[in-house]
Structures are given as structure tokens and as C-alpha cells.
Chains A and B, each alone.
Chain A
């Protein structure tokens, strides 16, 4: 094992742990929201510090590796992409935290009719699937899993685009639910942003695997899966 391998393996292990924690946070936030579970919501809020601590450690270890080990080629691409992936996964952790806070402050769970109308469960499912898929791609260096992420994000974008009109309609029907519906709208936005952050991660994975920079350009890949109609 070369000297830099120790650094790389440690950083990879930490990032996988952080990623898994954020996946868990998002799942707990979803359950807390849907079930009105205040204890679970509190647990997510308390765990947010662990996510932040991971982010700091990964940043510092990456900086140290750059400074002391002079990585090149695939090692350099690994460190550069980890720095950006780290930031993006931490932001997703922030969204899970924010969703848990909404759940913790709500007097009751979001009613089923609102959940169905806004497609929140499907959005959660997609966002969480994207999180898991991107982690699997990173952990197993699986390029094929990365391409699928771009199609999955389309589902989140579609639900987000409809959200304003759906929420407005629901408010008109039941004005007493206005605050609840505004909370639902903010969660929709956070889930859509989660998808955007995972796409950023996908771009960094492509850079790491292939040394290709694809940001700000159209991705011409026929592997995209077509979004299902909500």
C-alpha cells in the first residue's frame, strides 16, 4: 500500500459513513413527518451535528492529503471530487434536518389527501433512492449507476413544477390548512433541491471515474430512464 492509500481509504470510509448517516436522517425525517413522531424528529435534529462533524473532518483530511501527499491522476481526481461531494451531501443533511424541524413543530401529521395531492411520498422515495444509488456508485466505482440518476431527478423536477398550483388549489379549498400546506411546499422544494445536489454529486463521480467535466453541458446519454407520470 502506498503512503497516500492510507489517506484515501480513510477519507472514503468517512464519506461513506457520512453519506449513510444522511440517508438515515432523510428516512427518519420522512417517518417523523408522516407519522407526526416528535421524538424521531428530535433525534434527527440532534444527529445533524454528527453530519457537520463528518463534513469538517473530510474537508480537513482532504486538505492535508493535497498538501502533504501531492496526489496526481486518479488520486487527485478523487480528492477534488470528494471535496465537492462532501459539501453536497452535507447540504442534503441540512434538508433532512429542516424537514425534521417541520415535523417537530407540527401539531399533527400531514393529512393523507395532502400527501397524495403533492406526491410527497413519491418525492421522498425518489430522493432517497437517488441518495442510495449515488452512494452505491461511489462505494463500488459503478459508472452505470451514475447515469441513471439524471433520469430520476426529472421526477422531482416535475413534481416541483406542479407544486405551486397544487398547493394554491388546496389552500383555496381548505384555508385552515394554509400553514400546513406552506410547510408541505417548503418540503417539496427541499426534496427537489436534494435531487439537484445529488446531480452535482453525479457530475463529480463522472469526473472522478472518467476525468470528464460535464457540468454546464447537456448530457447525451441514452441510459436515462424516462420519468413516470405522477
Chain B
């Protein structure tokens, strides 16, 4: 079980105070949805856990970000080790220009696994976990770029699962997909939570309601409200939260 937490986190991009004094703890083996208007800091927050914000030169962090008690920003931490433990799925599916098989095997090979049967077993297991195996088992050598959008996204999820992450981050994973593909991804997320801790950014409030146990509402870099999804969507404590989820914002 993976426990992720942030304490008194502040983030700046130059002088822009992007995240303001956030403290949150994420339940293991559950899905937490992050909602809020564009530019409120959701994606910045998500990227704290795999240190992708480090790629932005003006990024500056103050505070504590931990996974299973380990500070991911500690000086002696190997960023690659952190990123092995944290899988990420993006808004636009981004399969490698390789075969279906090699997309999933890539992470294993990079981590030094050479045993052919282990790789094959892991690829099959990951594709099954991502509910894609039945569709691609006879097409493993096919280029991933020839798959449909929904299949590509599930392939990206399989790729993330192959390296057995502790935490899975999803940044609007279905926003570019059709309703059927969205539904399959949501079903997949719903099943994955039995084994993984998942944090998902979504603009689709109904999606948050469908698949998450907890929801956090962000606004202008602040955490406005964080509670059980049922509570947020039935009787939020903060008026600002209610205004946002009922579409009366601004």
C-alpha cells in the first residue's frame, strides 16, 4: 500500500506563487480526483510526486513531499528511482514509435531486465491489467501508432504498470477520447485502485464522481476543500466549492 503526502508545500515559478501552503494526505489503494479551473495548480501539484516540475527552470519548492514516508526532494534521492515508483499518464496518449510489445517492455529493459520470459510475462500481465490484451495479443509487433486513441491510452497505462509503480498519476487521461474509450479507461481505473494509489486531474466533474473516493478542489493555487467525493458532490462545506461544481463559478 502506498501512502503519498504533502506538508506545507509552496511552489513558485519565478515570482508566481503557483501552490500555496498545501498539506494533503492520500489514501492508499484509492482514487483521488483533483478538480478546479484551468491554471489553479492541479497539474503542478500532480507533477510534484515524480519531480517533472524540475524540468522547468523557474520551478522552486518549499515544503515536504513524501511517498511512503520518503522525502522525494531530499538531496541524495535519485530522481530516476523516484520516477520508477511513480507512473504517469498524460492527456494526450504518447506511445513510443515502437511496436506494442516494445512500448510495454521499454521500461523493463531500461531498468536492466534482460530475461526474455520475464519480459514477455510482464508485458502480457500489464496489457491484461490495462484491459488491452485481448485486442492486441495477435498484434504485438504492430506499431503502437496504428492503434486507436483509446487503445493508445490503455497502452500508455500498461507501459506505466509494467514497472510496478507505487503511485499512478493521471493528468486528464480521457479528455481527448470518445465516450466509449473514456468509459473503458474509467472502468480500468476503477479496477486498478485495488492495487494502486491513483491521483487523477480531471475537468470532468461527472468523471470525478464516478471513479474517485476523495476529491480535492483547487483554486488559484490553494486547496479550498478536500473530502470524500460523496460529501463534496452532495454537501460541500465551502461556498466556493459549491459554486464551482454547480457551474456558477464567476
- A76 to B245 alpha-carbon distance, docked (Å): 11
- A75 to B242 alpha-carbon distance, docked (Å): 10
A2 and B234 contact, Cβ closer than 8 Å, known pairs A70-B206, A72-B209 = no
A208 to chain B, nearest CB (A): 11
B206–A211 CB distance below 8 A: no
B247 CB contact (under 8 Å) in A3, A74, A76: A3
- A76 to B236 alpha-carbon distance, docked (Å): 12
Per-residue CB contact flags for chain B residues 192-219 toward chain A (1 = under 8 Å, else 0) read 0000000000000110010000000000
Closest A residue to B235 using CB positions: A211
Closest B residue to A5 using CB positions: B248
Query: For chains A and B in complex, what number of residue pairs have CB atoms within 8 angstroms?
Result: 32
A76–B234 CB distance below 8 A: yes
Residues in chain B near residue A3, CB distance under 8 A: 247
B247–A73 CB distance below 8 A: no
A145 within 8 A of B: no
A77 and B246 contact, Cβ closer than 8 Å, known pairs A70-B206, A72-B205, A72-B209 = no
A2 and B206 contact, Cβ closer than 8 Å, known pairs A76-B234, A77-B235 = no
Residues in chain A near residue B233, CB distance under 8 A: 72-73, 76
Residues in chain B near residue A129, CB distance under 8 A: none
B94 to chain A, nearest CB (A): 30
A4 within 8 A of B: yes
- A89 to B235 alpha-carbon distance, docked (Å): 26
Count, chain B residues at interface, CB 8 A = 12
A73–B206 CB distance below 8 A: no
B216 to chain A, nearest CB (A): 16
B231 to chain A, nearest CB (A): 9
Residues in chain B near residue A73, CB distance under 8 A: 233-236, 242, 245-246
Residues in chain A near residue B235, CB distance under 8 A: 73-74, 77, 211
Residues in chain A near residue B206, CB distance under 8 A: 70
Residues in chain A near residue B245, CB distance under 8 A: 72-73
Closest B residue to A210 using CB positions: B235
B23 to chain A, nearest CB (A): 25
Closest B residue to A211 using CB positions: B235
Interface residues of A in 1-35 (CB under 8 A from B): 2-4
Residues in chain B near residue A77, CB distance under 8 A: 234-235
Per-residue CB contact flags for chain B residues 127-160 toward chain A (1 = under 8 Å, else 0) read 0000000000000000000000000000000000
A72–B248 CB distance below 8 A: no
Interface residues of B in 228-250 (CB under 8 A from A): 233-236, 242, 245-248
B179 to chain A, nearest CB (A): 14
Residues in chain A near residue B246, CB distance under 8 A: 2, 4, 71-75
- A73 to B236 alpha-carbon distance, docked (Å): 7
B197 to chain A, nearest CB (A): 25
Q: Which of A73, A74, A77 has the most CB of B within 10 A?
A: A73
B242–A74 CB distance below 8 A: yes
A2 CB contact (under 8 Å) in B205, B209, B236, B247: B247
A204 to chain B, nearest CB (A): 15
A4 to chain B, nearest CB (A): 7
Residues in chain A near residue B234, CB distance under 8 A: 72-73, 76-77, 211
- A187 to B54 alpha-carbon distance, docked (Å): 77
- A76 to B242 alpha-carbon distance, docked (Å): 11
Residue numbers of B with Cβ under 8 A of A are 205-206, 209, 233-236, 242, 245-248
Q: Give me 10 A-to-B residue pairs in the complex whose CB atoms sit less than 8 angstroms apart, sorted by A's number.
A: A2-B246, A2-B248, A4-B246, A72-B233, A73-B234, A73-B235, A73-B236, A74-B242, A74-B246, A211-B235
What 14 additional pairs, Cβ within 8 angstroms, besides A71-B246, A73-B236, A77-B234? A2-B247, A2-B248, A4-B247, A70-B205, A72-B205, A72-B233, A72-B234, A73-B233, A73-B234, A73-B235, A74-B246, A75-B246, A76-B233, A77-B235
